[in-house]
Chains A and B, each alone.
Chain A
Amino acid sequence: MNTPHYKNILIFLLTSVGLIVLPHVANIPPAMFGFFCLMLGWRFAGIWQPQYLPTTRLLYFLMLFALILLVSHQHRGLLGRDAGTNLFILALGLKLLEIKTERDIYLVVFLAFIVAASLFLYQQSLFMAAYILAVCCVLFATLVAINSIQIHTRAALKTAAVILLQAMPMATVIFVLFPRVEAPRWMLFEEKNKAKIGLSDSMEPGSISDLGTSEELVFRVKFTGAIPPPKYRYWRGPVLSYTDGKRWTQTNSQRFKAQLAKPSYAGTAYSYTLLMEAQEKNWVFALDIPAQYASPLEQNGHYQLINPENPHKRTEYQITSYTQYNTGYLTQLEYQDSTQLPSEPSDKIKQLVSQLHGFDDKPENFISQTLNHFKTEDFHYTLTPPLMEENPIESFLFNTKRGFCSHYASAFVYLMRTAHIPARVVTGYQGGKFNTVGNFLEIQQAHAHAWAEVWIENQGWARVDPTAAVAPERIEQQLDINLLELGSDIRFETSNSQQQENWLKQMSQLWNNADYQWQRWVVNYDSSNQSDFLSSFGIHDFKAMMKWLMALVGLITVLLALLLLYQKKKAIDPALRLYQQFCQKLQPAGLIRTDREGAMDFAQRAKLALPEQTEAIDHITNAFIQLHYGRVSTREDFVTFAKLVGGFKLNDRRLE
């Protein structure tokens, strides 16, 4: 097994194995990855310098080392995704050094397929899928190469690609129709998600600005009908009522009111599909405020949607929301919660409130006065506000006057509460990037926002966004994350720059759309999705599913068989056909040309039997030989030949 043929196969194999493990660099401990690289490099060197390949004893030692490596990294349990991945990668690395027969090559290829599958446990993006598909093609090409006499790299790759392409329709059909059964709980190896950034259940001034520039996707929304205008695009998250003067947290009363009364809705109903990415918290960010939703979603007393069984994976929800609503009366508990202050407000603040007519005017007027104060005074909106350690609200209001949405929201609520108006902070997301290709909104971490809610007689809880007073563009327009630079003043996309959409942006939208469709239809295709989708084709139960699966796989097989096995016969030379006519003409005379008889031999025999036709037979035979076997033959030769055959007749005399 040291022929050039074998070398080529090894190069093929090692390349594809390297490619398949490469994306795991982010997923496995560096020591494991290093170990694998060492094995791979060693084996690569072994192609040209076989004498340096490890001996059996050294292999045992390496195996022991790998085992120690494996055990030392298993603080998270011996079963599960990480442990399994590590195990398979180390096994693959060790097996590489022990390739002796063709069987070992197959084993390596099969192990590589398992490692490819383990990659999908970490990442299911469209890009990863395309990458794995390409590497699978190389793996199959390795198998093609083993089974060929000579290796032509390109031919092997082509064969593998053709087979993969032909396999795709069938794979798709099985994918759609194969029954998805949820694995029983005990089988699930649930892994704690790595610490993710996202909204937290408490807020300190400035905490949201940490999310300010993150492009990480939080959720996507696709509206079935009307799309709400930008100023209504508030995605409701946790409501924070309790404050210690610095930190804002949720209160326990949130479960309470949900049982008592439903708000009344007005205006347009917005129905949409919300595709949440995997979240650490079980919050579902619905458009403010959600009215209809299906289980397992629940609504708490703060009109926030919750999925009690946090699936820890991408999940799809169908929700209907109204942007105009009246939440009705205020309960005693709510009143207590939403007017709570940690201590008596300072004189400075009281003075400001009375200056804004907080104590002697209607709440509506006080609100507009306050917003006006933010607008007219020297307040700025920035992602990097100065640190406010002590007494943040006061120092923000009177000294620094620079802040992000959380500063404005908390300061605003504080002022309201000073005037005994029930108010609270609502966190969530605001806005979203509209993808014109796929017609959906993408909400990223950078869209995290905090605003205020004030309870007003006859209106219920009403949303007031003090940030809008300072930076109305933040609400009306989209925040352009690409242009964001920490420390500088925030720039907003103007309509002017929107017009200059370059192809790069369109490409990125196209890609985002493809990714959205991919996530929605492929990655997220679970049992409920499947039954919905199949019901639209009239397939309702398991039996029908199986029948359709069989029928479609059968149909594809038949089509493929027709395509593959249809074999074109070589076109018969027209000269040969004419010659056969001539032979047929001789049949009545008892002259039958056998399969093995050459034209010359047959002519000999015919001349003996029909001496008077000698000349004609010679002519025809010579012309045929010239046309059928000769190098050069013209169109005229053929015409002459056709005439000769046409004119040939057995002597009538003989037949009589």
Chain B
Amino acid sequence: MNSFRKIPISRRKTLTGMGALGAAGLLPRMAIGQGQTLVINSNVNNPESRALLERMTAAFGKEFGCSVTINTTDPESYKTTIRNFLVTSPPDVCFWYSGERMRHFVRLGLFEDVTDVWEKHGFYEPTGALADSVTVDGRQYGVPTEAAFIGIFYRKDLFERAGIGQPPATWDELMAAGEALKKAGITPFAIGSRDLWPTGYFFDYINLRTNGLDFHMRLMAGQEAYTDPRVIKVFDRWAELVSAGFFTPNHTSYSWEQGATFFSQGQAGMIFLGQFARRFLPQEVIANTGFFPFPTLDPNVPQYEEFTANSMHVPSGAGNKELGKEFLAYFYRPENLQEWIVPEGYLPPRKDVEITFMDELLQSGLDMLAKAEGTAQFYDRDTNPEMAQIGMNGFQEFMVDPSRRDSILERLEAARKRIFEVQ
């Protein structure tokens, strides 16, 4: 059965050996990269961030005397191609998502332990709790690159036209606001569910607000059943929104960006996404957009929020691990992160990075985070990736036809039992 093995172990060992030589500080910094090429696989596709990454890598290349190649893939395809390239042609650095999405690759032995970088550069202190997002068994396997809070963005002009005074703070107010928008001929929620994940926010938040963080995280870890009455309660809440016709019609046809278009064109009053949504909104729409946290469903459940971090890693099969680690450390310098988060409007992963683009939207998000009793990341980062894929398929189906709730939950439960090896 050894014939199944794909990774040439001997070569990996040799490379680690070579890396150790560099890490021992025997060679000056320039020599680490001298004549080498750093290969970065990236899913960063917005033009401003790409230009920024190029500037950043050019400066890195100058400092370390190496050349840099960046391979960019669009984010949705990247989720598939990374599974191939980590095995067949690993780059020296790759962008990815923290949490379970990362841990899955760590468990497969595809990401390199970079704890030495964390210790050498003292990343733990400025990173704080977010350091856990790239931790497995007390070791660090990458650095968080940026983070986003999640909540509901709303059009102030449309709310005004529909006669909604205050952004909804409770479920009843949310339902009332939705009805008022519908009456004014406006779709309450814009959503494009073709890529599945935008559906996850609804599940996560209704669950967090109904059953709390502990239950949510146990469910994510495969320790609670999808057929549990508490989960059924979540779906019943959700069904209220679906049955009331609050979502963009035919949402499975649209990518999330297309979904956001309905919001910026003024056809929909709200959109429930991470703060990165703003990069798809024109400036004049942003000026007209407000933000509120997902409403309270049960006053006895403390306010938990989601805080999602993206990340950057060195694959274990990288040809030039030492250089890759140097780049991680370089990227994680506060002055670089400060620039990096600007184009997409993210929050910095380090506390010592100054946010230079504060506005009302961001301030409301930060206020929300400050009040949070605890945070989850997001469905596809908190649970096993295969479970997430099957789960989000089920969420999408539910948002098309809520009457299939039971068959969907049974399918999810069967997947949970198989994936988490529950007897």
Partners in one complex: no
**Interface set of A (CB-CB < 8 Å, partner B):** none
